[in-house]
């Protein structure tokens, strides 16, 4: 399994996926420079600590949606795209175990998403330490662990969970419909879930809804509900994807 995951990561590296992720995260450096140099298009109100800065950058990228679309397409292309091109047939011939092959692609995609999340935190921290801390917008404390910041951290974590679920769902759809159609469908689902997350009576049914609306009710009960709900959805998607590949005629 380890060798299979390394092969998938190598293919992602050849497609410059890791460089593209770093380019996405470089926006925090750009914003840090904008704050330091008082660029007119960069607007921040009040004072903020490291958590608020990291959270603002993460939410900006999440709302723009480009990283989400990128991950959905990459995930769909290494599964449904390779199926359409016949590449996956050659891989199955070498590996012989379809479930292991599918899991290696899923785990490699998961690694890519986590790489994005972790490097986002690192680059934002560097931007805050070396650029933003030189301005008058900072708080006295580097990190303020109040309720708002804790909720912000929870929102960011569930934003990452939402990306993972969306990518896994897109990978499943790509087996039948191909990478492009699956990605477009994933974008439509994201838009639909963003609207549903604003409906009070049903928004808790949206996985990772904390990241989709500013009106999220974050407390211990809703956090546990979301953890259970997201875990169930992830398990179902993994099971369906593995079974789909095993049954499909390549």
**Domain range summary for the chain, segments of one domain joined by +:** 2-247
Query: What are the tens digits of pLDDT across the range 168-181?
Result: 999 989 888 888 99
Measured between alpha carbons, how far is 213 from 247 in angstroms, rounded to an integer?
Answer: 38
Predicted TM-score (pTM) of the model is: 0.90
- Count CB neighbours of 188 within 10 A: 10
pLDDT at 123: 95
Provide the 8-state DSSP code for 137: S
Measured between alpha carbons, how far is 133 from 214 in angstroms, rounded to an integer?
Answer: 27
- How far does the chain reach from its first CA to its final CA, in angstroms? 22
For 42, the enclosing helix (H) or strand (E) is none
Nearest to 125 by CA among 22, 53, 40: 53
- Sole residue written with tokens 């211990």: 220
* Model confidence at 131: pLDDT above 80: yes
pLDDT at 37: 84
């Amino acid at each position: 399994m380890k060798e299979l995951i390394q092969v998938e990561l190598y293919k992602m590296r050849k497609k410059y996926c890791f460089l593209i992720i770093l380019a996405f995260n470089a926006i925090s450096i750009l914003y840090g420079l904008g704050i330091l140099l008082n660029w007119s298009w960069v607007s921040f109100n009040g004072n903020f600590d490291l958590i608020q800065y990291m959270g603002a950058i993460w939410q900006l990228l999440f709302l723009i949606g480009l990283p989400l679309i990128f991950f959905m397409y990459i995930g769909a292309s290494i599964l449904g795209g390779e199926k359409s091109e016949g590449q996956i047939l050659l891989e199955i011939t070498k590996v012989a175990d379809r479930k292991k092959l599918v899991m290696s692609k899923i785990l490699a995609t998961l690694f890519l998403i986590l790489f994005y999340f972790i490097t986002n935190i690192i680059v934002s921290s560097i931007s805050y330490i070396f650029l933003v801390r030189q301005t008058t917008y900072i708080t006295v404390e580097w990190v303020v662990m109040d309720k708002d910041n804790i909720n912000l951290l929870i929102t960011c974590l569930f934003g990452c969970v939402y990306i993972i679920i969306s990518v896994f769902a897109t990978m499943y759809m790509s087996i039948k419909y191909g990478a492009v159609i699956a990605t477009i469908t994933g974008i439509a689902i994201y838009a639909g879930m963003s609207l549903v997350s604003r409906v009070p009576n049903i928004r808790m049914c949206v996985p990772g809804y904390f990241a989709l609306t500013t009106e999220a009710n974050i407390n211990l009960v809703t956090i546990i509900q979301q953890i259970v709900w997201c875990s169930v959805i992830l398990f179902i998607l993994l099971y369906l994807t593995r079974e789909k590949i095993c049954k499909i005629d390549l």
